[in-house]
Structure 1
Amino acid sequence: MSRFKITIIGAGSVGFTKKLFTDILSVREFAGIEVALTDVSDRNLSMIKTILDRIVEANGLPTLVTATTDRRKALEGARYVISCVRVGGLAAYADDIRIPLKYGVDQCVGDTICAGGILYGQRNIPVILDFCKDIREVAEPGAKFLNYANPMAMNTWAAIEYGKVDTVGLCHGVQHGAEQIAEILGAQDGELDYICSGINHQTWFIDLRVRGRRIGKDELVSAFEAHPVFSKQEKLRIDVLKRFGVYSTESNGHLSEYLPWYRKRPDEISRWIDMSDWIHGETGGYLRYSTETRNWFETDYPKLLEAAGSPIDPAKRSNEHASHILEALETGRVYRGHFNVKNNGVIANLPADAIIESPGFVDRFGINMVAGISLPEACAATCISSINVQRMSVHAAVSGDLDLLKLAVLHDPLVGAICTPEEVWQMVDEMVVAQAEWLPQYAHAVEGARDRLSRATVKTRDWTGAARRAVRSIEEIRAEKEATRLRAAG
């Protein structure tokens, strides 16, 4: 196969970049490609390039790995562009969680919708559009943009509608949900078939079959309630399954943010979440996790580098979509997955302009979506609520319309269940002022927002949330892991 180029933007995310890289090189035809890494951090780029170079050397491959902070240079001639960026880093993300808490909005993740996810989109979308401009101008003609960055739907929507680049959004929520279902039903590899459809982080298993036998709601509920772990960790998802009749792909914590009935009252939150891990609903759980692991790769860098010297085992290739899509496009070997694309009638009862997540097949002709799907009415209703927020958020991010941004936050299901309009207007002003350095499209509105805050009359509170855990040090994490290992060893 002729050499082609893949560019990874945000490659300083060491663990994820390493996974993508080894997945891609599990495809034998890809041995001679070029992988260009780019990031805003020279230090992280240097570390990940050293790891990837070690993988190439250990496997005797002709793969070329380059690294530069000059994004445009990295994109020159690229056939595929993969993005996994977090604009503003943990500093901005901390405000996504901290400021809404002052107004009573308790988020677990805050990266999709809710106040945090909407502001995250405001930071990311201008940068995504910069990526698209560079892709149009210097990448290979017709280059495909694979977006892994959240908020998935908003970023993908902006790249398609305003960036005018061939874009697909990729997530692993569907795979993780399917793994749970296979476990509770005792299905072995290849025995579970499913159709999962909706929007990113609100995707629904609308058809489930094990060895060809259709699995109904009652059987699924019984299996989840009988499971010794999931029955405790997924209480909210199980309750939604009972009421909606279908299981959601998304984690207990994520789902609690999109369905306001479970997270609008602090004294109710503990009924539905589990504190054994951040993903089950902990206040600011993903922020804590991200903070704790921020420097983990640095302290364990020698171990990562040592592991990079092992042979690539194609049997251990992950279920992340990127490498499988590239393999299908380049070799014609057909791949079935779930992809984020513009709806255009694929899901009959969702808006045509929405970014949906639904089944599709990939071959040399591209990504071909399965059309004619209809969601159960309750699933469609919850998706449409989020779609309306996403649409306003994207248009606000592109136009810099502060009033439209406030309306988007006001219409968020969880925010709207908790806050008055006056509280929303002040909260958004506070978030825009706090994050002004990452919001160039609102530069004209920052002084006005700051002035209004100086005369603010809405009372706020100093609240850490209904279910917060303290950030652990690396030493504490290491000690806990060792204790867990010893317990497991008996």
Structure 2
Amino acid sequence: MSFKIAIIGAGSVGFTKKLFTDILCVPEFKDIEFALTDISEHNLGMIKAILDRIVEANNLPTRVTATTDRRKALEGARYVISCVRVGGLEAYADDIRIPLKYGIDQCVGDTICAGGILYGQRNIPVILDFCKDIREVAETDAKFLNYANPMAMNTWAAIEYGKVDTVGLCHGVQHGAAQIAEVLGAKSSKELDYVCSGINHQTWFIELRLNGRPIGKDELIAAFEAHPVYSKQEKLRIDVLKRFGVYSTESNGHLSEYLPWYRKRPDEITRWIDMSDWIHGETGGYLRYSTETRNWFETEYPQFLEAASKPIDPAKRSNEHASHILEALETNRVYRGHFNVKNNGVIANLPQDAIIESPGFVDRFGINMAAGITLPEACAATCMASINVQRMSVHAAIAGDIDLLKLAVLHDPLVGAVSTPEEVWQMVDEMVVAQAAWLPQYADAVPAAKERLSKSRVKTREWAGAARRSVRSIEELRAEKAALKQAG
């Protein structure tokens, strides 16, 4: 087979390498072309050198090109994969820092909440540019695979306004299933059969079977509470399991910021999170992790390049959906996964226009969703709160409507649990002014926002958050890795 895959945001080096090696685990895909594009020539150069080394080491005919000219990369592409972070770590830092001034403590801030909503405002204009290019220069009916957050908002915009065949992809379901399999004593996740459905980062394991045996709420609670690690790291998820009756796919830290109950006061935050790793609820944890990862990669790049000389091992193919979807579409080997698509009746008790994440099957006819799912009422209610925020956020981003943007932030579950309307109005003004360089649709609104900020009387505070850690130096990271290697 010979076709072209374009990767936008290919400077996300580690993830691009994973997608690349996964796809080349499919025997029929050896002779395809990868077109890499990014706004950073520096990052493009690094990832192309790594992928070229992989091709050379494995004696493959695979072609790899790299360009900052996005349209050139998209020309003739059958598949387009996006893993962009619009605004980079600079804008992301404001997604965390500014809400903290108003008492809003986020762990990740990339899905909803104040940070995720502003992230969506930065992404959506760019996503629509991608879609325009795809329509104009890619293969007819090219498929757009979006890995970038905020997943639901980006996918919603691409489908509704970009008019491109789009699917959103995430790995939260696979990670949650691996946890459940482990606590139940399974030898592998393959022993676990499940139906997991909802919206991205709020999907729910509504049916579980281990080797064909149904698993009920009480058994699952007991298994998690008995686990020596998860019982400490996933306290919030276990509490939600007890109250809702089903387990959420999302990590302790992620889930905590989509709900109005657990991060509303500093003492509540420290009660429910675990500081053994950022993903369990640390304030700004993913920002710290991303910063350290970037610094580590820049410093240790020669080691990453050397590691690229190893043979590709199909047994180590990851569970990221992209390679499996492409394999199913091109070879007709059926793949079952969980995909972010427009609802259109798949989940009966969620809105038709919402972007849902639910089971589906892929073959040469496309992605075919399993319809007729009804979520438990509490799960549907929680998803609905986020869907309403997502819808308003998408519409605000398309129109450049700062008043609708403020209403979207006001209706966010965690923001509403912490902040007054007056605080929200000022916070959004401050975030839009700080991020104006990445928000072209709000250019006309920025002068008035600056004027309001100059006259505002809303009190703020400089607060690091309830559970903040400093970014570690390269020396500290080396020492920690050495200690882990010695202990292991």
Look up the SS of the partner of 2:482 in the other structure.
Answer: helix
What do the CA deviations read for 1:107-132 (whole angstroms, capped 9, x no partner)? 00000000000000000000000000
Q: 1:11 deviation in Å?
A: 0.3
Unaligned runs of 5+ in 2: none
Q: Does residue 278 of structure 2 align to residue 243 of structure 1?
A: no
Q: Does residue 26 of structure 2 align to residue 21 of structure 1?
A: no
Task: Quote the residue 1:195 is aligned against.
Answer: 195
Superposition misfits of 4+ residues, deviation over 4 angstroms? none
Q: 1:272 deviation in Å?
A: 0.3
Distance 1:188 1:376 in 2: 29
Q: 1:473 deviation in Å?
A: 0.6
What do the CA deviations read for 1:230-260 (whole angstroms, capped 9, x no partner)? 0000000000000000000000000000111
Aligned AA for 1:285? G
Task: Quote the residue 1:154 is aligned against.
Answer: 153
Aligned AA for 1:99? I
Look up the SS of the partner of 1:292 in the other structure.
Answer: helix
Q: 1:295 deviation in Å?
A: 2.2
Look up the SS of the partner of 2:346 in the other structure.
Answer: coil
Aligned AA for 1:219? E
Task: Quote the residue 1:142 is aligned against.
Answer: 141
Look up the SS of the partner of 2:337 in the other structure.
Answer: strand
What do the CA deviations read for 1:112-156 (whole angstroms, capped 9, x no partner)? 000000000000000000000000000000000000000000000
Q: Does residue 364 of structure 2 align to residue 349 of structure 1?
A: no
Distance 2:291 2:30 in 1: 35
Aligned AA for 1:349? N
Task: Quote the residue 1:110 is aligned against.
Answer: 109
Distance 2:484 2:401 in 1: 50
Aligned AA for 2:176? G
- Within 5 A, what are the aligned runs for 1:56-75? 56-75=55-74
Aligned AA for 1:328? A
Q: 1:301 deviation in Å?
A: 1.4
Task: Quote the residue 1:169 is aligned against.
Answer: 168
Task: Quote the residue 1:322 is aligned against.
Answer: 322
Distance 1:91 1:70 in 2: 23
Aligned AA for 2:229? V
Unaligned runs of 5+ in 1: none
Task: Quote the residue 1:54 is aligned against.
Answer: 53
Aligned AA for 2:269? I
Q: Does residue 277 of structure 2 align to residue 282 of structure 1?
A: no
What do the CA deviations read for 1:245-278 (whole angstroms, capped 9, x no partner)? 0000000000000111111011111110000000
Q: Does residue 358 of structure 2 align to residue 358 of structure 1?
A: yes
Q: 1:298 deviation in Å?
A: 2.0
Distance 1:132 1:188 in 2: 43
Distance 2:487 2:344 in 1: 53
Q: Does residue 375 of structure 2 align to residue 375 of structure 1?
A: yes
Aligned AA for 2:213? R
What do the CA deviations read for 1:421-465 (whole angstroms, capped 9, x no partner)? 100000000000000000000000000000000001100011110
Q: 1:415 deviation in Å?
A: 0.3
Q: 1:391 deviation in Å?
A: 0.1
Distance 2:98 2:11 in 1: 27
Look up the SS of the partner of 1:195 in the other structure.
Answer: strand
Q: Among the aligned pairs, what percent are the same residue? A: 86
- Within 5 A, what are the aligned runs for 1:328-477? 328-477=328-477
Task: Quote the residue 1:5 is aligned against.
Answer: 4
Q: 1:483 deviation in Å?
A: 1.4
Look up the SS of the partner of 2:100 in the other structure.
Answer: helix
Q: Report which stretch shifted further, 413-422 or 298-307.
A: 298-307
Distance 2:483 2:57 in 1: 33
Look up the SS of the partner of 1:145 in the other structure.
Answer: strand
Distance 1:64 1:267 in 2: 54
> CA RMSD of the aligned region, Å?
0.6
Distance 2:484 2:19 in 1: 29
Look up the SS of the partner of 1:274 in the other structure.
Answer: coil
Task: Quote the residue 1:40 is aligned against.
Answer: 39
Distance 2:443 2:349 in 1: 38
- Within 5 A, what are the aligned runs for 1:260-275? 260-275=260-275
Task: Quote the residue 1:81 is aligned against.
Answer: 80
Look up the SS of the partner of 2:204 in the other structure.
Answer: strand
Distance 1:142 1:188 in 2: 41
Distance 1:254 1:51 in 2: 32
Distance 1:477 1:259 in 2: 33
Distance 1:92 1:348 in 2: 37
Distance 1:221 1:387 in 2: 28
Q: Report which stretch shifted further, 183-192 or 104-113.
A: 183-192
Distance 1:65 1:188 in 2: 38
Distance 1:326 1:431 in 2: 39
Look up the SS of the partner of 1:482 in the other structure.
Answer: helix
Distance 1:337 1:483 in 2: 38
Q: Report which stretch shifted further, 294-303 or 136-145.
A: 294-303
Q: 1:177 deviation in Å?
A: 0.3
Look up the SS of the partner of 1:94 in the other structure.
Answer: helix
Q: 1:487 deviation in Å?
A: 2.4
Aligned AA for 2:17? K
Distance 2:61 2:27 in 1: 12
Task: Quote the residue 1:90 is aligned against.
Answer: 89
Look up the SS of the partner of 1:449 in the other structure.
Answer: helix
Aligned AA for 1:194? Y
Distance 1:413 1:480 in 2: 37
Look up the SS of the partner of 2:261 in the other structure.
Answer: helix
